[in-house]
Amino acid sequence: MKLKKIYDFLNEISPFELQEEWDNSGLLVGSYENEIEKVYLTLDLDEEVIENADENSLIIAHHPLIFKPLKNVIPTSFSTKLLIKLIQKNISFIAMHTNFDKTHLNRFVAEEILGLKGESFDFIYRAEVNKPFGEFAEEIRNRLNLTCLKTVKYHNFIKTVSLTTGAGMSLLPYVKSDLFLTGDIKYHEAMDAKVRGVSLIDIGHYESEKFFADIMGKELKDLAVEVIKSNSKNPFIYN
């Protein structure tokens, strides 16, 4: 199957033009003319994912490999090391990032994983909770398998929750709930949330997005290509 046909299918289920201005979703490596038999799905690209992928295949990942445009292709950075390996194995690479967050990922995690019932607005999913903070936090920990629970507690009782998978703290000013669930929360962002009266539970960047391959797998199941889920590993170990 021509890569162009797969690209067009992806563009239909999650239009690339929905991506944010700073994002770089789309075909980043390879050619629309390539003949693809195998498609690998992964949250992120890492060395193991590439090693396990066949030559001439296609990898679809959540995060773009290239953000800052390249003035050379020397293996001194994260992206160029992997980029060179992709090109040498003639593996094509498509990123489905902020467009996919908006059309699929947020809603899936909120509803299928966390069992919430609400609505999705752009990057933010909002739902009612009506539970004590501690009880709800334990529930989140269990459903996402979080080893270490990192929270900012402002209210003892949570009426409504907002959720953004990945690293969503820049959206804090748009959060209208008692509690915000997102990953990669930094110290000053936590201070800010506290002053604004918003509680936080850090649901992990990896932990809240590791479902990417599963969701994408379901979408591609009728396509005439072999689809392999080949998730990257969480770089963090907690103990």
Backbone angles phi, psi at 216, to 5 degrees: -65, -40
167 is a site residue for a second copy (CB under 8 A): yes
Pick from 2, 84, 112, 121 the residue near a second copy by CB under 8 A.
84
15 is a site residue for a second copy (CB under 8 A): no
78 is a site residue for a second copy (CB under 8 A): yes
Pick from 36, 59, 61, 83 the residue near a second copy by CB under 8 A.
83
| Residue 121, strand partner residues | 124
29 is a site residue for a second copy (CB under 8 A): yes
Amino acid letter for position 79: S
Count of residues touching a second copy (by CB under 8 A): 58
157 is a site residue for a second copy (CB under 8 A): no
Distance, CA of 121 to chain centre: 17
229 is a site residue for a second copy (CB under 8 A): no
Can you tell me the distance from the alpha carbon of 7 to that of 30, in angstroms, rounded to the nearest whole number? 12
Q: How many Cβ atoms sit within 10 Å of the Cβ of residue 166?
A: 23
What is the four-CA torsion angle of 175, 176, 179, 184, rounded to 10 degrees? 0
Pick from 26, 101, 168, 203 the residue near a second copy by CB under 8 A.
26
122 is a site residue for a second copy (CB under 8 A): no
Can you tell me the distance from the alpha carbon of 42 to that of 216, in angstroms, rounded to the nearest whole number? 9
Q: Which range touches a second copy (CB under 8 A), out of 28-36, 97-105, 120-128, 174-182?
A: 28-36
Pick 38 or 81: Cβ nearer a second copy: 81
Pick from 7, 53, 63, 144 the residue near a second copy by CB under 8 A.
63
Backbone angles phi, psi at 231, to 5 degrees: -65, 145
Least distance between a second copy and beta carbon 44 (Å): 6
Least distance between a second copy and beta carbon 171 (Å): 15
Backbone angles phi, psi at 143, to 5 degrees: -65, -30
Integer CA distances (angstroms), 81 to 25, 67, 77, 84, in order:
19, 14, 6, 5
Pick 111 or 139: Cβ nearer a second copy: 139
**Coil/strand/helix, residue 131:** strand
| Residue 93, strand partner residues | 29, 59
Using CB under 8 A, list all residues that contact a second copy.
24, 26-32, 44, 46-47, 63, 66, 68-75, 77-78, 81-84, 87-88, 90, 147-153, 167, 183-184, 186-188, 190-196, 204-206, 235-239
